[in-house]
Chains A and B, each alone.
Chain A
Amino acid sequence: MSERIGTVKWINGPVIRAEGSRQVGMMELVEVGEEHLIGEVIGLNGDIITIQVYEETSGMHPGAPVFGTGLPLSVELGPGLLRSIFDGIQRPLPIIEMRTGSFISRGVHLTPLYRKDRWEFTPVMKEGTVVTGGEVIGTVPETPSIEHRVMIPPDISGTVTWVAPAKSYTIVEPIARVKTADGEKELTMLQRWPIRRLRPYKTRLDQSIPLITGQRVLDTFFPLGKGGAAAIPGGFGAGKTVTQHSIAKYADAQVVIYIGCGERGNEMTEVLQEFPELIDPRSGHPLMERTVLIANTSNMPVAAREASVYTGITIAEYYRDMGYHVALMADSTSRWAEALREVSGRLEEMPAEEGYPAYLAARLAEFYERAGYVRTLSGEEGSVSIIGAVSPPGGDFSEPVTQHTKRFIRCFWALDKSLASARHFPSINWLDSYSEYLDDVAPWWHKATDQNWIGMRNKAMELLSEESRLSQIVKLVGPDALPDEQRLVLETSRLLREGFLQQNAMDTIDAYSTVQKQIGMLALMLYFHDRAHDIIKMGATISVIHKLPVVDTLIRMKTQIPNDKLSMIDEIHEAINAQMTQLEADYK
């Protein structure tokens, strides 16, 4: 398959130039040197071929051969993706471990999907059917959580001449044949797709269903629509990874793709050790059964880091095409942008801002545009939601990656260093964050909870922004100078901050809140506020309110009320009512 196409002339880290054939295509997968290191053609100029190499190039010297493959850099798609962990160019890390031990050596050639596993295939299509790309030929129970739907590849259409009977097959055995305009094609469960090309769908649909993450500040205050895109920017230690991990655990997506892009090895290990043990609250099966991990950690080759986000999004689109809701997390997109910058720098391209290449914005746009809620080629609904972490240098959001990302996402979860230092987690700043999906998803919430979600949410936001205004005054004159009505705003906001917005990812009860628990808690706090407000109008002081035992209850309820004991919310409602009524009696 690989023939010699050129000779290495220049080496600078992951970027090399070779002289050779003019037949080589842009983005073609090539192999470099005697060790056949994997690379991709990123530039052509006369007979000079510029290649980014996905492995360490130490020891390579001019004169080394370059081999072509004639194929673009692609991922393998088929049963066996779920539960796997791959590197940035989809090499299976557990198999690499079997080959080379605890440390990753270069030049290891492995197929992403294991060829020998057998999968129970059940055909759902009859011979003689006229088909187009995306239609489902048969199904495979890939994991207890997910039925894998084997599809006609997007670029194939014709008449089905043969479908394999229900039986177990490997992914390389034929399972169907289709007569197309250019002859009969044999299909297997294994398919390939170039990572830099988006997979087609029929149409885009509205993003009116929220991706429920179980994180109160996200779902209730800054919701993301399924098929939407969100960014989590924040300085180091602000909480990007913990938030992304929480979403990966609790989001109501059917499939989760988690990309560790240029981040820590231990964080991937944590997911690998935790997810097989954790039970998905919805399916009742281990979380790993719905998860694909891509790990190209900060010390792994930088060019493969660049590829990792494309590898991930292509796999996400593939499950979307089966009619699933997929959530993709990329931690961190800044490291991907830096990989672009590093390669661009070695090519001595003209930099735009802060050394980033001028095409940074275009690449970010292309990536986030691959999110969407779509009608698939087979007529199903499916979605890919993207949640990208951004790591701005010095925590300063005015830098290019954060700024350009903002143009292509509609949900901005701004992490705040000072909240994180005070251990207010998740440190999502409620004044700097925004969601443009509020109106889109409001009808869903109203239907799901039968309550005026948007009204309550806006009321709470009003209190919080009033608090921020008042605390400017408090800083100058102290709280005692404020009238009690305003001090109540501070008190309720404190309840909202400590009792609602703060959510401890390490607490078994608090880590995840159902929408019912979220709206129940919010209603209680607003009810408390309204009742207290009336009593203050009657002449009570804030300190009387502050001393009510229910204040402590409201702050602690997030860790006290399990998701399946929501009747406790009614009890607290009763307690507020009783304590307030008693107070009222004193001031009547």
Chain B
Amino acid sequence: MSELVDRGGQEVVGVSRIEGPILVIENAGNLGYDEVVEVIDSTGHMRRGRILEVSEKMAVIQIFSGTTGLSIDGTKVRITGSTLKIPVAEEMLGRVFDGLGTPIDGGPVPLTNHFADINGQPINPTSRVYPRDYIQTGISVIDGMNSLVMGQKLPLFSGAGLPHDQLAAQIVRQATLGAPAGESAKHAEDFAIVFAAMGVKHDVANYFKNSFAESGALARVAMFLNLADDPPVERLITPRAALTLAEYLAFEKGMHVLVVLTDMTNYCEALRQISNIRGEVPSRKGYPGYLYSDLASMYERTGRVKTSKGSITQIPILTMPNDDITHPVPDLTGYITEGQIVLGRTLYQHGIYPPISILPSLSRLMKDGIGEGQTREDHPHLMAQLYAAYAHVQDVRSLASVIGEEELGEVDQQYLAFGKAFEGKYISQSFTENRNIEQTLNIGWDLLGLLPKEELTRVSLAEIDKYYKGM
């Protein structure tokens, strides 16, 4: 430890190469891997960077705000002897920060002596509490078919131009701790919201800001903004800074925190850029082989732990390049998160909001968050039945497109009617409509009434007796 302190403040010179956001310096023997350095240009202006690789003879430094204006001669590197840390405090709620966690709302720097490493530390699996409490979002497709659970990481997979921002804003606005159908939540507690923007446009950031303001949530929101015209390298820090604050609020202050990260695709592109400049061996589409581990180091900072009553729920948003779900960014995200909500262009073109594609969407933690005592006893089977029926609708539709609707058998015709009604009444709801869980479940049964009883093999006979409304 003492050695770290000793090195702090030392300065080294000898820049040998500058390329993109990367600076290579010689004779760097005293720098530590992953540490922060202060880089001072010939005019005395300071910017910060981080060590990516270091040997006795050289160090590779990634400069957060870019290398514009840096020269080979005249640039000095000052050692801090510490990895990147940000201040964390409850007072940061209601505030706006840049991508590195510095206030940009004109307010003062948070007054605290609590600094936390932005990389955090892995949660010990034995210390976790398995998430089981569902969050009612008031959106049927989510609550009924893909429930969100407190402590879950559930991303939105979207595409350019689709209304993922509205959907995220609606979720954040309507989210409350769930209660069994017909009851109201025992303790209504507001979520603290940590919002991180990576490379999104100004209007997107403003949209969220306004939406938080309208719902009166602004005082509970901390915003970390790295916008489209901000330095891309900073983006690699932004979500980590946001999650560092979220961890503090959740696990030290016992709050329930919703974290919205947008847009993860921009984050990944920044990572790819750095990797390519460094000449690393790429895996798919030029992304580095460690993209999975890198994403996991953020997504896994979600959940609940035994020592705190708080929780972190993550809703990362990403746009799928070309709407391609097999693209490395959605693909690796799906491999880490606990499900995904997928937005679909076809539904959107049919004017359906929220345009959530049911079949590829999934919530893995749903099974323990729903059913008797949590939502209603019929919920698990009802959702499986709706899934099976709607999956069959797709087959019938493609058959109808070949042989014509009139040629379909009676049951298949009923499936078509079910499909249409499902999209119109279940999936579709307005941006301001907030349905409680009972409403959502009942709409489901109304729709199943369009199908003959014999088709409903996923629900039990007792459930059919109790809820089925068909002939």
Residues of A near any B CB (own CB < 8 A): 9-13, 17, 34, 56-63, 85, 93-94, 96-97, 100-105, 235-237, 260, 262, 264-266, 268-270, 272-273, 295, 297-300, 302, 335, 338, 341-342, 345, 348, 351, 354-355, 391, 393-396, 421-423, 474-480, 498, 506, 547, 551-552, 555-556, 559
- What residues of chain B lie closer than 8 Å to A393, measured between beta carbons? 283-284, 326, 328, 331-332
- Measured in the bound complex, the distance between the Cα atoms of B299 and A266 in whole Å is 12
Decide: A396 and B326 in contact? CB cutoff 8 A: yes
Residue of A nearest to B395 (CB): A475
Decide: A62 and B409 in contact? CB cutoff 8 A: no
Beyond A270-B130, A475-B402, A547-B454, 9 additional contacts (C-beta under 8 Å) are A10-B53, A58-B83, A236-B335, A262-B292, A272-B125, A299-B300, A348-B281, A355-B282, A559-B460
Decide: B331 and A394 in contact? CB cutoff 8 A: yes
Decide: B56 and A63 in contact? CB cutoff 8 A: yes
- 22 A/B residue pairs, CB under 8 Å, sorted by A: A9-B56, A10-B53, A11-B53, A13-B290, A58-B34, A59-B35, A62-B56, A102-B308, A103-B120, A237-B339, A265-B122, A265-B300, A299-B300, A338-B289, A342-B290, A345-B289, A348-B281, A354-B283, A393-B328, A394-B284, A422-B359, A556-B461
- What residues of chain B lie closer than 8 Å to A506, measured between beta carbons? 367, 380
- Measured in the bound complex, the distance between the Cα atoms of B380 and A498 in whole Å is 17
Residue B343 at the chain A interface, CB threshold 8 Å: no
- What residues of chain B lie closer than 8 Å to A85, measured between beta carbons? 125-126
**Which size class do B's interface residues fall under?**
35 or more
Q: Known interface pairs A102-B251, A421-B360. Does A391 touch B335 (Cβ–Cβ under 8 Å)? A: yes
Which of B3, B56, B280, B303 is close to A34, meaning CB atoms less than 8 Å apart?
B3
CB distance from A384 to the nearest CB of B (A): 24
Residue B384 at the chain A interface, CB threshold 8 Å: yes
Decide: B126 and A272 in contact? CB cutoff 8 A: yes
Residue B451 at the chain A interface, CB threshold 8 Å: no
- Measured in the bound complex, the distance between the Cα atoms of B457 and A559 in whole Å is 11
Decide: A266 and B128 in contact? CB cutoff 8 A: yes
Decide: A298 and B300 in contact? CB cutoff 8 A: yes
CB distance from B343 to the nearest CB of A (A): 15
- What residues of chain A lie closer than 8 Å to B129, measured between beta carbons? 269
3 tightest Cβ-Cβ pairs between the two chains A and B: A394-B326, A298-B296, A422-B391
- Measured in the bound complex, the distance between the Cα atoms of B1 and A478 in whole Å is 75
Residue B54 at the chain A interface, CB threshold 8 Å: yes
Residue B399 at the chain A interface, CB threshold 8 Å: yes
**B450-461 interface bits toward A, Cβ cutoff 8 Å, 1 = contact, 0 = none:** 000010010011
CB distance from B280 to the nearest CB of A (A): 6
- Measured in the bound complex, the distance between the Cα atoms of B416 and A234 in whole Å is 31
Decide: A11 and B326 in contact? CB cutoff 8 A: no
Decide: A59 and B326 in contact? CB cutoff 8 A: no
Decide: A299 and B122 in contact? CB cutoff 8 A: yes
Which of A97, A395, A474, A555 is close to B326, meaning CB atoms less than 8 Å apart?
A395
Residue B293 at the chain A interface, CB threshold 8 Å: yes
Which of A60, A100, A559 is close to B32, meaning CB atoms less than 8 Å apart?
A60
Decide: A268 and B33 in contact? CB cutoff 8 A: no
- What residues of chain A lie closer than 8 Å to B33, measured between beta carbons? 11-13, 57-61
- Measured in the bound complex, the distance between the Cα atoms of B407 and A423 in whole Å is 28
Residues of B near any A CB (own CB < 8 A): 1, 3-4, 7, 28-35, 52-56, 82-83, 119-131, 151, 251, 280-284, 288-290, 292-293, 296-297, 300-301, 303, 305-308, 326-328, 331-332, 334-336, 338-340, 359-360, 362, 364-365, 367, 380, 384, 387-388, 391-392, 398-399, 402-403, 407-409, 454, 457, 460-461
Q: Known interface pairs A59-B34, A103-B121. Does A266 touch B457 (Cβ–Cβ under 8 Å)? A: no
- What residues of chain A lie closer than 8 Å to B289, measured between beta carbons? 338, 341-342, 345, 355
- What residues of chain B lie closer than 8 Å to A94, measured between beta carbons? 126
Decide: B300 and A101 in contact? CB cutoff 8 A: no
- What residues of chain B lie closer than 8 Å to A96, measured between beta carbons? 124
- What residues of chain B lie closer than 8 Å to A351, measured between beta carbons? 281
CB distance from A393 to the nearest CB of B (A): 6
Residue of A nearest to B360 (CB): A421
Decide: A478 and B380 in contact? CB cutoff 8 A: no
- Measured in the bound complex, the distance between the Cα atoms of B153 and A362 in whole Å is 36
Decide: B125 and A341 in contact? CB cutoff 8 A: no
Which of A61, A97, A262, A476 is close to B31, meaning CB atoms less than 8 Å apart?
A61
Decide: A103 and B457 in contact? CB cutoff 8 A: no
- What residues of chain B lie closer than 8 Å to A9, measured between beta carbons? 55-56
- Measured in the bound complex, the distance between the Cα atoms of B392 and A295 in whole Å is 39
CB distance from B254 to the nearest CB of A (A): 13
Residue of A nearest to B305 (CB): A102
CB distance from A173 to the nearest CB of B (A): 28
Decide: A298 and B31 in contact? CB cutoff 8 A: no
- Measured in the bound complex, the distance between the Cα atoms of B407 and A60 in whole Å is 72
CB distance from B73 to the nearest CB of A (A): 24
